[in-house]
Amino acid sequence: MSAARLGRTGVRITPLGFGAAPLGNLYTALDDDLARATVDAAWAAGVRYFDTAPHYGLGLSERRLGAALADRPRDAFTVSTKVGRLLEPHPAPTGSDLAAGGFAVPDTLVRRLDYSRDGVLRSLESSLDRLGLDRVDVVYVHDPDDHLDTALREALPALADLRDQGVVGAVGVGTNAVAPLLRVVAEADVDAVMMAGRWTLLDRTAAPLLELCAARGVSLVAAAPFNSGLLSRPHPPADATFDYGRAPEAVLRRARLLAEAAARHGTVLPHAALRFPLRSPVVAGVVAGFRHPDEVTAAARWIATDLPKAAWLDLDAAADATREP
């Protein structure tokens, strides 16, 4: 796969990135062998960008990803992780993190939000230990929406210092809300932002963010291109999920119209969903989560093949016709 540069840095990412939340047992458990096989399939397909976070499985995602990449040449791949949640011993574990965090792991640890300079440095040090790496290439401040002032005042300057010292390659913020990222791009020294679920075939509410990123020389990494499942299958089922909950009927209807438009042009909804974000030159890559080797192999094939202009015209018309006023 080709690779795009993040902002004005030397860090490059492949157009398809491996989202490692499933490696942390997102919603349901994934055994070690299948987790490793899925990373191996991504590598075989040419994926060289891997994104994780302490939040994902209370560190399990970072540990599994680090183990899977341990034998790969370090200069051959790009890794991003996130700061903002410190993992600490749980004073009263319940036995499972599913209710609190959404991951099928024992809750022996608990997340504590910390966007201070010290918190960022502690978080990154712990992530490096879990990953078994001496450096990560990209660090995002994770979901600082309700702590944006602190993130702008402490977390991002701390990361910028690390970047300037050559400790990390690029810095940014990752969240699923547009408004915080508009402020970050306008006010902070960032190289990239990770926008989850708001620049997709179905949800295009991040359009103002893309315009600002273009003006400021900031790259956008489009995460959650399937809107947490709704766009991941050729024919969205009645129980499909959208933004981590069951899709409302109106949203499901819109997704099905998009699926029909894709089918008219000889392709499938997930192909169009993966390719859509890359239509903007501001978007450096698309990050999706994978639980099985077959999923990542199919995604790599789709990401490598654009849709014809007529298909995009039809899909755009379907999106416009179904967009709520």
Residues belonging to the active site: 56
Q: Is the dihedral of CA 210, 214, 215, 217 positive or negative?
A: positive
Please report where in the chains the tokens 């849709």 appear, as a residue.
Answer: 307
d(CA 127, CA 122): 9
Burial 26-47 (b: 16+ CB within 10 A, else e): beeebeeeebbebbebbbebeb
Q: Are 126 and 54 in contact (CB under 8 A)?
A: yes
The CA-atom distances, in angstroms, between 290 and each of 169, 180, 268 are: 25, 27, 18
Rg (CA), the chain: 19
The CA-atom distances, in angstroms, between 62 and each of 4, 124, 170, 206, 234 are: 24, 12, 19, 28, 31
| Residues facing 141 on adjacent strands | 83, 173
What does the block give as tokens for 21?
Answer: 């939340």
d(CA 164, CA 262): 45
| Residues facing 110 on adjacent strands | 88
